[in-house]
Structure formats: structure tokens, C-alpha cells
Amino acid sequence: MLTSEDLRFFYIISTQPSLTAAARKLNVTPPSVTLRLQAIESKVNVKLVQRQARGIALTEEGYLLQNKARFIIEEMDQIQILMESKKNQINGTLKVLAPLGFGNDYIAPLVAEFQQLHRNLCVELELSDKPSWAESHKWDIIIYIGELRDSTLKLSTLAPNKRFLCASPEYLKEYGSVISPRDLKNHICIALRENSEDVTLWRFSHNDSELQESIRITPTFTSNEGGVVKNWALAGHGIIMRSEWDVQAELDSGKLVRLLPNYSLPCADIVALLGTDIRARSARTSHFLTLLKDRFSEQPWLNNKA
């Protein structure tokens, strides 16, 4: 079967007075031109070019292929121009997948702002804490927070994000403080189910030593919605492990208290996952990624007082 490269190659040959001239045009050796021409003729099983004393002449089939090749090449070049033009236009449909809570608080407003700047753009935003990696190709950008297991996507970090252990002052007044991770076994714990993580295994690293501890909690409350989990903690129902972006305002206001400040929990950086590298991305994807990086570089939740 002929390829587009075969057609381009033959068309150049067909417009030159000789195979030697074609070789100069293609910047290859005359023997390589002859071999490639023979391969093309073998594919179509017909003679395309006749050698003559003063050069070459096309056969009837050669003229037919020349005309068809010119038309196909022009069409392919137009398609390439069209694709390049589309690549630089911010239009079409921007498809974004984001976590439920973070997506509602931070991604949804940015998506709306982006669309207002580019009125020819449509937006499809889906919020989910259990993304389907089998369908990752459906999305231009996936916003992800947590332990990343899929390595086939291109990753772009948007902002650092710590995790904190928190409880309300009322809870601590009733149940007492937490001095070490092991004390959690004697406290009421609340777990958030997200990203198929093992949410009942809380891992701690001591800030001043290499000591690491893993505590398997038995949660009294569990939910798949971060807002519910935080509200339970604010109401004094137990201890939560939550992202900095979600609880920093409550920590600043004193509505929640950070526990075990001498220990660190595994970070959960906020990242954008993309199925294409920078050269193949659409303009809508590239420009929206730039907006995300710009807005999250200052970690707006650090200045968002409750």
C-alpha cells in the first residue's frame, strides 16, 4: 500500500527532468532514487517511469499517479495548516476533571473565568474523588491531590500541599490532647474516603528525627465528601487528617487546632495531569494550565481567612 511519503517522493520525481535531477532535489544519491522508485512501482505493480536518452518520461499510469498525488498532497498540506491554526485558537471544549471539594472551591471559578475570557470556548467540568484512570484520555487536564499511582500521564505541579491532623478546641477540651501518634487509638477519628487510598492508615514522620510511625485508626465517622468530614470536626465530633488548602483558614481562625505539630504527614501536592506533551497540546489546554500555575503559585488558601 502506498504511503503519503511514497506519494510525495514520486511527485517530486515526476516533476524533474531526470532521476539525477530528482536526486539533487531530494538531497540523496541517484541509486537510492532508483531503488525507491522501483519499490513504489512494485507496490502498484505497474511501470510508472520510462528511462530515455535525455531523461525520464512518465507512463500513462505515471501521469495518473502524478495527478492523484498532487491532489492528495495539497489536501494533506491544507489539513496540516488547519490543524496548526486550530492548535493556536482557544476554542472547542475544555474538559477538566477535578477533586470534589477542591474543584468546587478553586477550579470551578477559574474555569468560569477562563471561559469568559474566551467566549468561543465550551467547558466540561467533572468533579470526582475517584477518577477512572482507564478514561483519562477523555480529559484535557486532570487536577489531582494525593498519592499518585498512574505514571503514564504528564505531570505539572501547581502548588505544594501539606496534610494536617486537626480537631476543634471543644473536642480537645472534652477528650484531651494528643501527645504522640499512638494516642490516636484512644480518640475518635474521622476518615475521608478518596482516590482509593488506604484512608485508615495514617503515617507520621518526626520532624527532628528519622522516626516514622504508622497508625491504623478505626474511624467512627467516614465519608467520601471533604466538606462533611470537616464539618464533623468543626462540630467537635472527632479528629481529621485534611489537606492544608482545606483547613488552613480554620486553623488561622482557631476553629480547628493542629495536632502533633512535631510530626509530618505525607504531602499531597496539587498537580495537573495531562495526556499530551507540550508540543501536542491544544491552545485551550496550554493557556488554562498557565492560568492554573499563575493562580496557585501563591497558594491562595494561605491568605483565605475564615
**Same domain flag for 286 and 154:** yes
Q: How confident is the model at residue 151 (pLDDT cuts 50, 70, 90)?
A: low
Q: How confident is the model at residue 77 (pLDDT cuts 50, 70, 90)?
A: confident
Last residue of a domain, one of 87, 116, 148: 87
Q: Measured between alpha carbons, how far apart are the two ends of the chain, in Å?
A: 67
Which structural domain, as residue segments, surrounds residue 105? 92-161+269-298
Does position 117 have pLDDT exceeding 80, yes or no?
Answer: yes
Last residue of a domain, one of 87, 107, 142: 87
Supply the CATH number for residue 57's domain: 1.10.10.10
19-23, 76-80, 165-169 — most confident range: 165-169
Q: Rounded to an integer, what distance in angstroms lies between the CA atom of residue 267 and that of residue 242?
A: 10
Amino acid at 189: C
**Same domain flag for 201 and 186:** yes
Q: Give residues with Cβ within 8 angstroms of 60, minimum separation 6.
A: none
Does position 150 have pLDDT exceeding 70, yes or no?
Answer: no
Domain count, the chain: 3
Q: Rounded to an integer, what distance in angstroms lies between the CA atom of residue 100 and that of residue 225?
A: 7
3-state secondary structure string, the chain?
Answer: CCCHHHHHHHHHHHCCCCHHHHHHHHCCCHHHHHHHHHHHHHHHCCCCEEEECCEEEECHHHHHHHHHHHHHHHHHHHHHHHHHHHHCCCCEEEEEEECHHHHHHHHHHHHHHHHHHCCCEEEEEEECCCCCHHHHHHCCEEEEECCCCCCCCEEEEEECCCEEEEECHHHHHHHCCCCCHHHHHHCCEEEECCCCCCCCEEEEEECCCCCEEEEECCCCEEECCHHHHHHHHHCCCCEEEEEHHHHHHHHHHCCCEEECCCEECCCCCEEEEECCCCCCCCHHHHHHHHHHHHHHCCCHHHHCCC
- The verdict on residue 52 lying in a domain is yes
Does position 106 have pLDDT exceeding 50, yes or no?
Answer: yes
- The verdict on residue 8 lying in a domain is yes
pLDDT in tens, 257-304: 999 999 999 988 999 998 877 666 788 898 999 999 999 998 999 876
Q: What is the pLDDT of residue 296?
A: 94
Does position 28 have pLDDT exceeding 50, yes or no?
Answer: yes
**Same domain flag for 35 and 174:** no
Last residue of a domain, one of 52, 87, 122: 87
- The verdict on residue 305 lying in a domain is no
Say how many CA atoms lie within 13 Å of 106 toward its Cβ. Answer: 22
**Same domain flag for 110 and 100:** yes
Q: How confident is the model at residue 306 (pLDDT cuts 50, 70, 90)?
A: very low
**Same domain flag for 34 and 105:** no
- The verdict on residue 188 lying in a domain is yes
Q: What is the pLDDT of residue 138?
A: 86
- Does this model's pTM top 0.75? My answer is no
- The verdict on residue 75 lying in a domain is yes
Does position 202 have pLDDT exceeding 70, yes or no?
Answer: yes
Q: What is the pLDDT of residue 103?
A: 95
Q: Rounded to an integer, what distance in angstroms lies between the CA atom of residue 211 and that of residue 194?
A: 27
**Same domain flag for 253 and 126:** no
**Same domain flag for 226 and 170:** yes
Q: How far is CA 72 from CA 49, 69, 77, 195, in A?
A: 20, 5, 9, 48
pLDDT in tens, 7-18: 999 999 999 999
Residue reference for cell 499512638: 182
pLDDT in tens, 228-259: 999 999 999 999 999 999 999 999 999 999 99
Mean pLDDT confidence for 204-222:
91
Percent of the chain with pLDDT over 90: 66
- The verdict on residue 304 lying in a domain is no
- The verdict on residue 102 lying in a domain is yes
Q: What is the pLDDT of residue 220?
A: 95
**Same domain flag for 157 and 275:** yes
Q: Rounded to an integer, what distance in angstroms lies between the CA atom of residue 223 and that of residue 95?
A: 27
Q: Rounded to an integer, what distance in angstroms lies between the CA atom of residue 43 and that of residue 58?
A: 17
**Same domain flag for 279 and 253:** no
Q: What is the pLDDT of residue 88?
A: 66
